[in-house]
Amino acid sequence: MNDETKRLMKEKPKVSQQDVAILLERLMVLEEKLDEFGKEDSTFENKVYGLDGDVFEGEKMVKLLESAEFIRTQRDAVLNIIDSIGLFLAEQANKNSDFFAEKGTKLSDFATLISRVFADSFEVAAGRTIDKTSANEASKKFLLYVEKNDENIKLKYWCFSASLAMKLISSRGIRSIIVTSGTLAPLPAFLASMGM
């Protein structure tokens, strides 16, 4: 195990077996909900010319996660549990010649999804509180693209708002960004579209 992994293991709070069991239970419920969702027939409203899959409002992804009790207020707790599991798997991979290394990749992908769907990107200035209504405004800037086949369902959660992405970058403390484009003129319109 490398020194960085050891340091993180010591700093991270311990995760209980009950925490892991709750996470697994919620993941199984989410899998059931996704299976039900995958069996629903496509409608004309969800089709886009040139795309094989269905397109839904971003709120659909939020509702799918909430149906399995993955909610915005518990995002950090869920991510901490997944991080702890990932660190455990990394430690086991080092001991067992990388057998466990690939086991955590899908869980890591799920953590990325949770952090995107329930992102802080809707938060504006530090110190301002955001209620559930305005928090769900962020999902209106996203679309859920769903590809179904006989064996599985693939979800893609796409953002279509440059201003939302800029707010996320700004909330992370980044102070300078170089933007290059042939469409920077007129500058006031560009700044408005970027949410600056």
pLDDT tens for each residue of 38-48: 777 777 677 77
Judged against a pLDDT cut of 60, whether residue 131 lies above it is answered with no
pTM of the model: 0.69
Domain boundaries, the chain: 3-43+60-133, 162-196
Tokens standing for residue 61 = 């992804």
Where do runs of H (alpha helix) occur along the chain? Answer: 3-11, 17-39, 59-67, 75-95, 105-117, 132-135, 162-171, 187-193
Distance (Å, whole) CA 98 – CA 102: 8
- List pLDDT tens digits, range 49-89: 777 788 888 888 999 999 999 988 888 899 999 888 888 87
Judged against a pLDDT cut of 80, whether residue 3 lies above it is answered with no
Note the pLDDT of residue 12. 60
Nearest by Cα to 81 from 23, 141, 127: 23
Residue 27 pLDDT level (bands cut at 50, 70, 90)? very high
